């Protein structure tokens, strides 16, 4: 097995993704099949090859540091699942 049950649980936690027991089991089997297929990349020697993260030869793009229009507070909050006054409301972060 390329990916263990424990690794599936670890990665799901890294991704902040809840998975049921059934989902975890299926996920492990499917990820194993996909990772086994992906192993074919190891047929290639890439020790001397530069990575391509982006196809366009550009680095940082800057603009003038000027004030321009942006969303109003009301617009920015309009889609929030929960809000209070002008804030996004979330469940407790720190334990009591």
Partner 1 sequence: MELTALTIHDLQGLLQRREVTAGQVLRAFLKRIAQEEGKVQAYMAVTGREALTRAARLDRRLDKGEQVSPLAGVPLAIKDVICTQGVPTTCSSKILEGFIPPYDATVMRRLDQAGMVLLGKTNMDEFAMGSSTENSGYKITRNPWDVSRVPGGSSGGSGAAVAADLCAGALGSDTGGSIRQPAAFCGIVGLKPTYGRVSRYGLIAFASSLDQIGPMTKDVRDAAILLRVFAGHDPCDSTSVDMPVPDYTAQLGREITGLRIGIPDEYFIEGMDAEVETAVRGAISVLESLGAKAERISLPHTEYAVATYYLVATAEASSNLARYDGVKYGVRTGKARNLLEMYMKSRQNGFGAEVKRRIMLGTYGLSAGYYDAYYLKALKVRTLIRKDFEEAFKRCDVIVTPTAPTAAFGLGEKTDDPLTMYLSDIFTISANLAGIPGISLPCGFTQAGLPIGLQLLGKPFDEATLLQVGFAYEQATEWHRRKPPL
1 binds partner 1 (CB under 8 A): no
* Cβ atoms of 11 and 27 closer than 8 Å: no
9 binds partner 1 (CB under 8 A): no
6 binds partner 1 (CB under 8 A): no
Per-position x/- string for 23-62, each x denoting binding to partner 1 as judged by CB under 8 A, each - no binding: x---x--xx-xxx-xx-xxxxx-x--xxxxxxxx-x--x-
Dist CA 80 CA 88 (whole Å): 7
Dist CA 91 CA 84 (whole Å): 12
Dist CA 1 CA 51 (whole Å): 28
- Locate tokens 């699942």: which residue? 81
Contacting positions for partner 1 (CB under 8 A): 3, 7-8, 10-12, 14-20, 23, 27, 30-31, 33-35, 37-38, 40-44, 46, 49-56, 58, 61, 63, 71, 75-76, 78-82, 88, 90-93, 95
């Amino acid at each position: 097995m390329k990916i263990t049950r424990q690794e599936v649980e670890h990665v799901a936690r890294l991704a902040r993704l809840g998975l049921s027991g059934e989902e975890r089991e299926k996920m492990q089997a499917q990820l194993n099949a996909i990772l086994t297929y992906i192993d074919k990349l190891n047929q290639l020697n890439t020790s001397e090859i530069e990575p391509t993260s982006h196809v366009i030869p550009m680095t940082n793009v800057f603009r003038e540091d000027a004030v321009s229009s942006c969303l109003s507070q009301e617009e920015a909050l309009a889609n929030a699942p929960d809000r209070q006054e002008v804030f996004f409301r979330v469940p407790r972060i720190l334990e009591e």
